[in-house]
Amino acid sequence: MASPDYRTAIIEPSAHTDRLAQLLEFEGITVGRFVRQDLPELRAFGPDLLVLNHMRLRAGTLPFSAAVTEACHAHPLTLAIVAQGDEMRGVELVERGLDGFIAASCGAREFVARVRAMLRRARPAPPARATDSPAMSARPVRIGELDIDQARRRARICGRELRLTEQEFQLLYFLAGNPGRVFDRQALLDAVWGSDTYVTVRSVDALVKRVRHQLRAVGRLDPCVETIRGVGYRMADLASADSRSAV
């Protein structure tokens, strides 16, 4: 089976990122180079991954990422390139919504491996055989007024679509797919970020806060993400709550 035509967009290119782009092109990955004013062209390009040159974007890194998420039909994953020695800035960017970061001093193999891992997350390969049963992780989820379609990366509550980053979507989908079950922060970190990025368990707290804000923004208190003090988080099991209130 042919490999997917992965598309990576490098934002605010430089001589350094041009060398990295050549590595990706050698690996058969389609690469586009854009500046922050190229939003219409970027939307037409349809990237699976944004590689954001934070050394040039600086304070514009997060706003630009949010603008692309709003403009593109599919929500690309985001990887920031930060200056050597500025790894804590990279952690901050991840905690505020980006999907990963990598230092500019990284080696060629590390960069290509990181990009390939994120592209596989952005657009997983289809099953090898038509007879394979669909993965359980791809099933639609409904809890209360919340509907989540994982295959289309779409979440709606009371018929209104939620504008979620990829991380926010994955956390909401994971918790809603397991209502009432408590997960510690490490389990949620593994479920949302996997093992291919540098984040800490406190990133989970920041992500939960953003998801709660999204749910409250549409004026709904349920379904809600509950804090289990000293343990972690869970999605309220509305069915169980309804059955208890009916007794």
Percent of the chain with pLDDT over 90: 37
Pick from 44-53, 117-126, 144-153 the range whose average pLDDT is largest: 44-53
Which pLDDT score is estimated for 238?
65
Distance between CA atoms of residues 51 and 64, nearest Å: 12
Examine residue 149 and state whether it is found in any structural domain, yes or no: yes
Shared domain for 236 and 174, answered yes or no, is yes
Shared domain for 153 and 237, answered yes or no, is yes
Q: Is the pLDDT of residue 3 over 70?
A: no
Examine residue 55 and state whether it is found in any structural domain, yes or no: yes
Supply 139's token pair: 């099933």
220 dihedral zone (left: phi>0; alpha: psi -120 to 50; beta): beta
Q: Tell me the pLDDT band of 101, cut-offs 50, 70 and 90.
A: very high
In total, how many domains does the chain have? 2
Percent of the chain with pLDDT over 70: 84
Which pLDDT score is estimated for 166?
83
Which pLDDT score is estimated for 72?
79
Mean pLDDT of the chain: 83
Q: What CATH number has the domain bearing residue 217?
A: 1.10.10.10
Which pLDDT score is estimated for 27?
85
Q: How far is CA 44 from CA 51, 110, 128, 235, in A?
A: 17, 29, 29, 37
**pLDDT, tens only, 184-239:** 888 888 888 776 556 677 788 989 998 998 888 876 555 689 999 888 999 987 65
Distance between CA atoms of residues 128 and 167, nearest Å: 27
Shared domain for 92 and 167, answered yes or no, is no
**pLDDT, tens only, 5-50:** 889 999 999 999 999 999 999 888 999 999 999 999 998 999 999 9
Which pLDDT score is estimated for 134?
37
Shared domain for 85 and 47, answered yes or no, is yes
Domain's final residue, options 122, 148, 168: 122
Shared domain for 118 and 149, answered yes or no, is no
Examine residue 127 and state whether it is found in any structural domain, yes or no: no
Three-class secondary structure assignment of the chain: CCCCCCEEEEECCCHHHHHHHHHHHHCCCEEEEECCCCHHHHHHHCCCEEEEEHHHHHHHHHHHHHHHHHHCCCCCEEEEEECCCCHHHHHHHHHCCCCEEEECCCCHHHHHHHHHHHHHHHCCCCCCCCCCCCCHHHCCEEECCEEEECCCCEEEECCEECCCCHHHHHHHHHHHCCCCCCEEHHHHHHHHHCCCCCCCCHHHHHHHHHHHHHHHHCCCCCCCEEEECCCEEEECCHHHHHHHHCC
Which pLDDT score is estimated for 1?
37
Shared domain for 12 and 114, answered yes or no, is yes
Shared domain for 145 and 115, answered yes or no, is no
Which pLDDT score is estimated for 124?
62
Of 103-107, 130-134, 181-185, least confident by mean pLDDT is: 130-134
Which pLDDT score is estimated for 102?
93
Stated pTM of the model: 0.65
Q: Is the pLDDT of residue 61 over 60?
A: yes
